[in-house]
Chain A
Amino acid sequence: MVSWRTYLAALSLLGALLTASHSRLLAELLAALLFALLTPEVLQLAVLALNGGWPLPDILCLKHACLETTGREYCAFYGVKVTDCRHGCYDLSEKEFFSLSTTFFHVGLVGGDAEYLLITWNQQYYVVIRACGKDPYELRRTLEKHLRRVEEALSLTGCSWERMNGQNIRRVLRPSCLVPSGRSPLRLAVAGLVLLPLALRAPFLLPVGLAGLAALLLSQGRGGYTAASGLHVYTLVSIDSFYSLASLSDILSRAKIVYSSCAKDLYLALRVRPAAPEEEQAIDTEAYRSYEVGTALEKLSLIHRSTKFFAAARRRWERREALYVVSGLLVATQSQQKILERIGLRFIRLPSALEVVS
């Protein structure tokens, strides 16, 4: 699915080409807009050119936690490993599975001042909590509070767990399926990118120069990582089932597919944050608005869009499902990615997904 940004970039390019012979200023403005719209892609290319892989910050692992320093802030990670669950998708009924699983999310992932990393790797399940702050003691209290809540949720779900030590947290955040990348021969090209607007005296290339500069800043003090041989790095772009009123048996059958075919050998990290009330409200608003506009303009595409959002809204109200904002990293083979795609998880190959575990 092509995003609105890509459409706009294509239009800008077309506009710049058409207006170049008539108005140089307008063409330059449109070109500047084009580059501004493409900044994320240029930035990613520049980062890759600089590091050979995606740069991740070094993490310092202590006895029970890992730390990452970002400017004047600390970001700390605490984690638990789920060792066993009394039941699973292999023996639960549809209702039981749905009820227990949602209990885990509703009780354990309450958010606020922390983010959760739900990591599946080699049929093991980890919950890593990440919180950032300036005061290490306050940070510790926050993480302890959230960890206890996750443990309570696991206990309600019938799962046993063990707290992870620092080394184990590091192993999960920098798994062996990600390997440090070698030095890239294109390093110098990034410096050229930064100087490009000056060298060519072309102000419309300023977004490109800024992207190069951002890439240099982002890569500072970080080592690049790339997927191990035979694997690829994917980023989660959408969860199709979000827009449908999936039945409980559908949810269970998808879980069984994940259990039997996918959970083995793949690395899936989801950064999950409970959505803010206004984000929840936005789902309902989008459903109503697109319906109203769609019916007024007799636009089937908008009415269809409304149906999709209405399904999500109904699930929130009728099934009491909580809304989360999710970003995902998948390190897997192409066939595993295809299976996940069939069950409604859309991924694209994008190395910046590694940011999920930073």
Chain B
Amino acid sequence: MTKLLDRLIIKKTYALSGDLAAFASPLAVVPPREETSGMLLGTDDLGRPVFLNPSSLPNMHGIIVGTTGSGKSTLARHLILEARDLGVSSWVIDPHGERSYARLYSRVLLLGADRINVLDTPGWKSSEFSSELARYIERVYGISGARFVLREILLKCLSRGSLSPLENLSEVPEVKRIYDDLAQIHEDSAPSVEELAASSICFTFPQMSSREFRSLAALLLLMLLQGYRRTLGESHRFEHMVVLEEAHYLAPYLLHLYQQTRKWGYSVIAVTQLPRELDPKLYQLAGFVVALSGPESYVNDISLLFSLTRDERDHILYKPRGAALLVRQGDPRPRKLFLKLRREAFPEA
């Protein structure tokens, strides 16, 4: 009886597998799986909320790329605020000295005027620290071949707890330059990294400081933090976040940092407008990459990194501000994002 009624009532039609493919295939229906908790970034093209979940990413190191005015810093500030809600402290190293960052922090250090103790290096052996620092100073200041001499001088500085060995050699112009910059950053009685890492701080620079000075200061802060976090032991909990503006200044060191610091409970978010200036390997190591909108040549660069589809390219090429692509490690499908950033993150707020 039921079968007879079925025949009488249910309308049947024919379909070939190609017809079903268009509307009844899982590939036409199921969107990529999305996180349901973490740091909210916005919504995807289907209107679903998109989160960055530190616990499901292999690391929380990230890269934010986008051209001037695309909203990189606003997004970085949004992440700082979201992380704060998760109980994560943060540092910002901001060479531009933007007020918008400083506004979010109760403690702001103007490097060059405010000092830190760079010779107190917990977690590092003096020889290791001086070797690493000498290697990067050589690159930052463009004094090739000086690495080993510098290492010896820096080692002396560390063992004496003072910059006097550098000062004594300051008749050499290259050394004088390094000494001048270090002297603007360091003071024996200034707070050590241990004290600085305990709180959220915005590090800024004087408006007209040199590129070398900014790079050196940022490098020292990151190296000190790297050593200090090691003293705390391994931690897979996301506890501290560093936002590094103009990250391309420190491209070589970042590569090393992203490789080494995965399991020490902190992350570095590199913000840059020049995707090509960063080593392509950095994009492989980063837990996530957010690419904001920009002109065609910039989008081409992003396309080469992530082999985007035309839709994805168009999303950041033609969409107004607020459009972004999010790529997370472990999921190569970029998400077309419409950022929904907190009001406090915007400069005009």
Contact = CB atoms under 8 A, between A and B. Distances in A.
Given A98-B18, A326-B14, A90 B24 contact: no
B51 to A, nearest CB: 16
B6 to A, nearest CB: 6
B16 A315 contact: yes
Nearest to B32: A84
Contacts of A88: 27-28, 30-32
Contacts, number: 192
Contacts of A312: 14, 16
Contact of A239 (B13, B26, B31, B33): B13
Given A124-B30, A259-B28, A260-B46, A345 B17 contact: no
Contacts of B343: none
Interface in A85-101: 85, 87-92, 97-98, 100-101
Contacts of A83: 30, 33
Interface residues of B, number: 36
Contacts of A316: 16
Interface residues of A, number: 81
Given A239-B19, A241-B22, A315-B16, A92 B27 contact: yes
A181 interface: no
Contacts of A87: 27, 333
Contact of B23 (A100, A264, A345): A345
Contact of B16 (A71, A159, A324): A324
Contacts of B14: 239, 242, 275, 279, 283, 312, 323-326
Nearest to A321: B16
B198 interface: no
A357 to B, nearest CB: 11
Given A89-B28, A98-B18, A218 B5 contact: yes
A263 B48 CA distance: 13
A154 B19 contact: no
A279 B14 CA distance: 10
Interface in B1-56: 1-2, 5-6, 8-33, 45-47
B229 to A, nearest CB: 34
A110 interface: no
A217 B1 contact: yes
Contact of B30 (A39, A82, A321): A82
A40 interface: yes
Nearest to A309: B14
B311 interface: yes
Interface string A237-263: 111011000100001001110111011
B16 A39 contact: no
A353 B22 CA distance: 21
B164 interface: no
B82 to A, nearest CB: 25
Contact of A43 (B9, B18, B33): B9
Contacts of B29: 120, 123-125, 258-259, 263
Given A268-B24, A324-B15, A344-B19, 19 more contacts: A89-B28, A98-B18, A104-B26, A105-B17, A105-B21, A120-B24, A120-B29, A123-B30, A123-B31, A214-B1, A214-B5, A235-B11, A258-B22, A258-B23, A260-B45, A263-B29, A279-B14, A315-B16, A326-B12
> Which 8 A-B pairs rank lowest in CB-CB distance, beginning with the nearest?
A101-B21, A255-B28, A101-B25, A321-B16, A84-B33, A254-B22, A105-B17, A102-B17
24 contacts: A44-B9, A85-B27, A87-B27, A90-B31, A101-B27, A123-B46, A124-B29, A125-B26, A154-B26, A236-B13, A239-B19, A251-B21, A251-B22, A254-B22, A255-B27, A256-B28, A259-B28, A264-B47, A271-B10, A272-B15, A324-B15, A324-B17, A327-B10, A355-B10
Interface of A: 39-40, 43-44, 70-71, 82-85, 87-92, 97-98, 100-102, 104-106, 118, 120, 123-125, 154, 157, 159, 214, 217-218, 235-239, 241-242, 246, 251, 254-256, 258-260, 262-264, 268, 270-272, 275, 279, 283, 312, 315-316, 319, 321-328, 340, 343-345, 350, 352-353, 355-356
